Structure 1
Amino acid sequence: MRALGVLDGLLQSQRGDLFPWVPVLFGIGIGLFFSLRVEPGLAHYLWGTGMASAALAMLWRGDRQDAVVFLGWILLLVALGFATAGLRAHTVEAPVLQYRSYGAVEGRVIAIDRSARDRLRITLDQPFLDRNSPDQTPARVRLSLPDGARVPRIGDRVMTTAHLMPPQGPVEPHGFDFRRHAWFQQLGAVGYTRVPVLIVSHGPRDLPVEQLRQRLSTGIRSQMPVATGGFASAITTGDRSAIPRAALEALRASNLAHLLAISGLHMGLLAGVVFGGLRLLLALAPAIAQRLDTKKVAAVGALLTASAYLLLSGMQVASTRAYIMVAMMLVAVLLDRRALSLRVVALAAMVILLLRPESLLSPGFQMSFAATTALIVIFGGLRDRLTPSSPRWLRMVAGVVLSSLIAGLATAPFGAAHFNMISHYGLLANVLAVPVMGALVVPAAVLALCLAPVGAAWAGLALMDLGISWILFVANWVAALDGAQGAVTMPPASVLPLMAFGGLLLGLWRGRLRLLGVPVLIGGALIWYGSPRPEVLVAPNGGIVGVLTAEGRALSRAKGHGYAAERWAENDGSLQTQKEDAQLWPLIAGPEASGKSVTAYLAASDQRLTHVIGKAAAEAMTECTAGEVIISAKSVAPIGDCLVFDADALNRLGSVQMDAEGRWISVQDVVGTRLWSRDPETSQSSP
């Protein structure tokens, strides 16, 4: 009971400031759901029901002590988060292709984007796959198109012949699980085509928003240069398919890629420009200004504009969060009330987690809310300490520098963990580019929209071109500086939750206990810094092997299987190319290495690793010795006391790794058997 008394005292000190913890507790339940290695069954949901029942009992009997009520809310919110994630996972369930195939594909185009390798991609729904029964046909299929392919329109029904496969698992046991990502997008097959895509029919107007987005994007790009046009279409419609890869890489290297995401910056600037512009126009008409509350009329206009912008943006996590916050503030204007910023952020987080609980795992959600929460907390603390005695221009510059620094520090751990890169001159780039975004690019976009009905949108687009040209110039200049980018290793799974909790404790808790967030953050950073990378990595299909050396990760092949090689290099915190890493293999190779079978000696575990390359080498692999590890993309059956990771084993286990103690761990060991990780028989051929 004494513990409850202490907790009750702590809660009394936080009265009025506990609502921001609601999405945190809800998110813990979601995180528990995704951390399981087995799909939740009756026992798990009975456990959740028991938690909810205990929580309700505490809430019912907790009228005399806040601590009991608080514990009840903790149990209830965690249970609800767990149940919401489970419901969402089953609601989006759709067939997944169970084999690799080549054949006719037909479907309706619902999305167009670009891959990480700058290949144009289309996503099809209502697909027809050759020799597939309707009940086994995926809900959606994504195809990469050949260079120079004709780009269809949204809503067109197209057909082609394509190589298809199920969504693939992680390239290493603790890596990004594309299967899980695809599951929640109902993406049941991915692949590529090397032949033209034929348009069967132009679809009806049953995708009005998507078709409008494509028309606007095409119209903008047709009146602007390639680089700036792609940027402009990205920030107005969310369509990034036309951004040149060189420009995108420069924006990422200079930490300006966030300008492409329709987020709080864009939504806030747009709503602010429309709100201020409407109030100014109404003020110029005294007859109207004397009869109407121009402030509320402007708020309605800004709210309608923000709503339209949300639809055009594709309703991504960042834009949805920004819209909710802007809408809440505009509604507060209509109701003559003041919005509480942290409450609005918490409400936005709850709405997104209720609709898309899987967003909790995405970098967009994590970075968006980390930056917003940090900015509100720090600027809220500074608001009462700053005086308006300084010149206005100096305060504006200081605001831009400080906001860029705060947002950069808040998002740095998440960006580094997900993308393995840090931009060393990101603050400089943001100080030079963000003011131009707010003062020129966004107002010019609004001007272009207003002038479009009279055919004069070109004037606004010309101004946008000037502003975007400057932003791209800054991005290229900063990216070209020596040491502009640094690489970091992939952290263990525990690091980001630990650092997020430390940051939340610092930002949301009132009183001295918030300082406990500092050692929590430091502890997460130390775990990250001290975590070793796997000694050996084997690709999911056994096509390439990587062995860690003092000079980097030696690769068994200099060409092919580039996706796995690139991801391994990123996760190792290395900037070397696959060809450079392959040159390290001879340093660890045995004398029997050949073009078809390469060997490496693992000194740390006293094992000999043989990577069998090609069908002929696999057929010749009939014997092995004790302590030898055989890896092959084909099926092999050597005689001897050795460990074999061949096509059959890897189809079942996924990619595998060996840690510093010589233990072998597979994706199956880490991920387990979930809805999205039930292993398709990728080695089978099409029926």
Structure 2
Amino acid sequence: MPRGLLHLVNRAASGAAMIVLNQRGALFPWAPVLLALGIANYFACATEPRGGQVALACAGALAAGVLAVRSGALAGPMLWAVALVLAGFCLGALRAQVVAAPVLGWRYYGPVQGRIVMIDRSGSDAVRLTLDRVLLPDVDPARTPDRVRLSLHGEQGAMTPLPGLTVQATAHLSPPGGAVEPGGFDFQRHTWFAGLGAIGYTRVPVMAHAPPERGATLVFAARMALSDRIRAVLPGDTGAFAAAITAGDRSALSQEVTETLRRTNLAHLLAISGLHMGLVTGFVFAALRLGGALWRHAALNWPVRSIAAGAAIAAGAVYLALSGAAIATERAFVMACVAFLALIAGRRAISLRALALAALVVLILRPEALLSPGFQMSFAATTALVAAFGALRGRGGAWPRWTRPVVALLVSSSVAGFATAPVGAAHFNTFAHYGLVANLVAMPVMGLFVMPAAVLAVLLMPLGAEAVPLTLMGLGLDWILLVARSVAAWDGAVGRVIAPGPLVLPLYALGGLWVILWQGHLRWLGLVPLVLAAWLWSGATRPQVLIEEGGQLVGVMTPSGRALSRGRGAGFPAEVWLENDGSALDQDAAFALWPPDLPIRHLTGKKAAAALTCSEGEIVVLNHDPPGRPPCRVFSPKTLRDTGALALTLAPRGLEITSARAMAGRRLWNDKDIRVSHIWRWPVQGADQ
């Protein structure tokens, strides 16, 4: 190698080494980022990794970790990065195997029996029951799903759903469906990790088969009992709101309230997260510390602060259990534990290291959480808040004391809203223009009245004296609902955006994390992926033609928006397609756009399929299989069964087809052949279904 080139290489290596060494002491927050990178690589695989491949990755992670411990300040971080990425890959693969359970392989209609382990509400506002200990007559137990979820339609009321109650009904069940469009939300993956082997509905009354088992589903029963006590004092939407933020029970919360909160960027109040956990634990800590300070003996002889911190952790654990232990709640609880343990040890309570530890705990326990909007929005908001208030630490002296809470509220609402807005818009295709206004008016009431009253109500419930604090809580929630409804009614309250491409959110996360976590002037390099993400999103396009996976619906993009082939039926894919288009149209309005001269026809019903006549070059979509082999290009259930939903582009060089199945790959959750050959545990009941 020429001497000049060797000199340049040495200088570059020395510069890189100095850059890494300058990050000493600030590298730990990168640990969950690298772990998440490995988890993302697992989920991005086109086919399920085999056991040998995963074992090799795990061995590599272990070897890199051992070498990292024995390496110096330069090589050590590099090896830790390799170890964490490989460990993330292994975590994803192992978790997918641990949750493996039978998946229904066909459509089923008949008696269904099971025990209620969850009660919630669907997007269509129907009550849903999740059942375990499922029995399907004439179905081999080895092929029966461990859990199913039923939506209740029609006239119900034959029984009141109770935790642990064994019920039976005549229901329709089917395997979880795939994405409603190529590259869309993978519902099969979601249900796999949720343990759901089938979903369905019933239009006949659900009947009680056996009384609730004593001691069964104890935590769930406690949550529902708490919810019932709250709604007995606070009826209607107010009580449903109170039950949602206290017990995590949204079964009584109407879609109208949920949508109103979403339109004003107040829907985060329903997700029990850092705000709720911080208010609950902070209230307990402050109350006990104040009480200890007022008691002379305790103030002089007891470690009041440590006792208050320990009690706050215990209160957070109880709240975590009662709220249902969602991802955001787990993150908030870990953060609270770290903060109060730091207070006990005399260390800084809130830091990026504490947040990184919380992220590691959540990702290790549930690697699939990385792909959920809740995880992404929760950690985006918290990371931005910790960084912002860390940068502002010691700079509040210029503000008058009475203005500091107002400034803190303004800064926190602005920072959290700015950090989560791209993530929320990417997942839900909406943007609340007046969300900052709504949060500034509603949040003080939430912190000063609602959550302290909720804590008091729970503490007084064993004495039957919860009515007064719940009434105060209801007044605060009434104010929040009034704010939400008023702001949602403003013109232009909600903006709609097109769904971004697959690289936008990863680039946004990389850029934001680089700006926050990297130390020194090179942090501003994080602006490059942020700008690139914005540029890619601005140029996002939507498929010209979309076909539902059962041939029930077709959507064609027109100059006026997406035209739908039906005004009723297949409502879920219709809603998702229009949302991803960034369209404000509903299904009826989109059906009105359907032009008569399209080069694609959609026919529904058995008679239409049987009487099909077409010519070569035509494209016809059917929801029933036609007889014989028509001369035209036909998409029917038979052809769509192997492809899932389709996106078509009518290009000059021919028809370009993208399938949801090809985009999702061949994974445990969507391919029965993969389940047979790639499930490591043997034997696994129902692995072939």
* TM-score bracket relative to the smaller structure: over 0.9
Inter-partner Cα distance in structure 2 for 1:434 and 1:560? 40
Q: Which residue in the other structure is 1:363 paired with?
A: 373
Asked if the contact 2:546–2:647 (Cα under 8 Å) also holds between the matched residues in 1, the reply is: yes
Range moving further from structure 2, 371-380 or 200-209: 200-209
Asked if the contact 2:272–2:323 (Cα under 8 Å) also holds between the matched residues in 1, the reply is: yes
Counterpart amino acid of residue 645 in structure 2: S
Aligned residues: 659
Q: Which residue in the other structure is 1:624 paired with?
A: 615
Q: Give percent identity, aligned residues only.
A: 47
Q: Which residue of 83, 94, 99 corresponds with 1:76?
A: 83
Q: Deviations over 1:372-421 (max 9, x none)?
A: 0000101110113331x433331111111111110001001110111111
Counterpart amino acid of residue 127 in structure 1: V
Q: Structure 1 residues 239 and 343, CA, compared in 2 at 3 Å: closer, same or farther?
A: same
Q: Which residue in the other structure is 2:670 paired with?
A: 677
Instruction: Map 1:69-468; keep pairs closer than 5 Å.
Output: 69-146=76-153, 149-150=156-157, 151-202=160-211, 203-339=213-349, 341-387=351-397, 389-468=398-477
Q: Structure 1 residues 46 and 439, CA, compared in 2 at 3 Å: closer, same or farther?
A: closer
Instruction: Map 1:551-590; keep pairs closer than 5 Å.
Output: 551-586=560-595, 589-590=596-597
Question: Displacement, 1:57?
Answer: 7.2
Local SS of the residue matching 2:162: coil
Q: Which residue in the other structure is 1:604 paired with?
A: none
Q: Deviations over 1:258-317 (max 9, x none)?
A: 011111001111111111111222233222322212111111211111110011111111
Question: Displacement, 1:207?
Answer: 1.6
Asked if the contact 1:5–1:67 (Cα under 8 Å) also holds between the matched residues in 2, the reply is: no
Inter-partner Cα distance in structure 2 for 1:660 and 1:22? 46
Q: Which residue in the other structure is 2:648 paired with?
A: 658
Inter-partner Cα distance in structure 1 for 2:649 and 2:74? 44
Question: Displacement, 1:61?
Answer: 6.3
Inter-partner Cα distance in structure 1 for 2:274 and 2:497? 28
Inter-partner Cα distance in structure 2 for 1:524 and 1:229? 41
> What TM-score, normalized by structure 1, do the two folds share?
0.93
Give unmatched runs, 5+ long, in structure 2. Answer: 1-8, 674-688
Inter-partner Cα distance in structure 2 for 1:667 and 1:10? 43
Asked if the contact 2:350–2:386 (Cα under 8 Å) also holds between the matched residues in 1, the reply is: no
Local SS of the residue matching 1:333: helix
Question: Displacement, 1:642?
Answer: 3.8
Local SS of the residue matching 1:663: strand
Q: Structure 1 residues 643 and 71, CA, compared in 2 at 3 Å: closer, same or farther?
A: farther
Counterpart amino acid of residue 327 in structure 1: C
Asked if the contact 1:341–1:376 (Cα under 8 Å) also holds between the matched residues in 2, the reply is: yes
Matched, 1:540 2:533: no
Q: Structure 1 residues 610 and 461, CA, compared in 2 at 3 Å: closer, same or farther?
A: same
Inter-partner Cα distance in structure 2 for 1:191 and 1:60? 52
Q: Structure 1 residues 193 and 445, CA, compared in 2 at 3 Å: closer, same or farther?
A: same
Inter-partner Cα distance in structure 1 for 2:624 and 2:17? 63
Q: Deviations over 1:168-207 (max 9, x none)?
A: 1011011111110000011001011111111112222122
Q: Which residue of 607, 610, 623 corresponds with 2:601?
A: 610
CA RMSD of aligned residues (A): 1.8
Counterpart amino acid of residue 363 in structure 1: P
Asked if the contact 2:113–2:166 (Cα under 8 Å) also holds between the matched residues in 1, the reply is: yes
Q: Structure 1 residues 374 and 212, CA, compared in 2 at 3 Å: closer, same or farther?
A: same
Inter-partner Cα distance in structure 1 for 2:177 and 2:452? 43
Question: Displacement, 1:60?
Answer: 6.2
Q: Which residue in the other structure is 2:685 paired with?
A: none
Inter-partner Cα distance in structure 1 for 2:218 and 2:52? 44
> What TM-score, normalized by structure 2, do the two folds share?
0.93
Question: Displacement, 1:14?
Answer: 1.0
Local SS of the residue matching 1:261: coil
Local SS of the residue matching 2:138: coil
Q: Which residue of 617, 637, 649 corresponds with 2:639?
A: 649
Asked if the contact 1:55–1:71 (Cα under 8 Å) also holds between the matched residues in 2, the reply is: no
Inter-partner Cα distance in structure 2 for 1:577 and 1:30? 37
Local SS of the residue matching 1:23: helix
Q: Deviations over 1:327-363 (max 9, x none)?
A: 1111122223333510111010010100100000000
Inter-partner Cα distance in structure 2 for 1:91 and 1:168? 22
Q: Deviations over 1:181-236 (max 9, x none)?
A: 00001100101111111111222212211111000001100111211101111111
Q: Which residue in the other structure is 1:594 paired with?
A: none
Local SS of the residue matching 1:38: coil
Inter-partner Cα distance in structure 2 for 1:121 and 1:157? 15
Inter-partner Cα distance in structure 2 for 1:361 and 1:48? 21
Q: Deviations over 1:592-647 (max 9, x none)?
A: xxxxxxxx22xxxxxxx22222111111225531x322211111256465433211
Inter-partner Cα distance in structure 2 for 1:275 and 1:47? 47
Local SS of the residue matching 1:20: helix
Inter-partner Cα distance in structure 2 for 1:53 and 1:355? 19
Counterpart amino acid of residue 347 in structure 2: R
Inter-partner Cα distance in structure 2 for 1:373 and 1:254? 22
Inter-partner Cα distance in structure 2 for 1:237 and 1:419? 25
Counterpart amino acid of residue 644 in structure 2: G
Inter-partner Cα distance in structure 1 for 2:164 and 2:16? 57
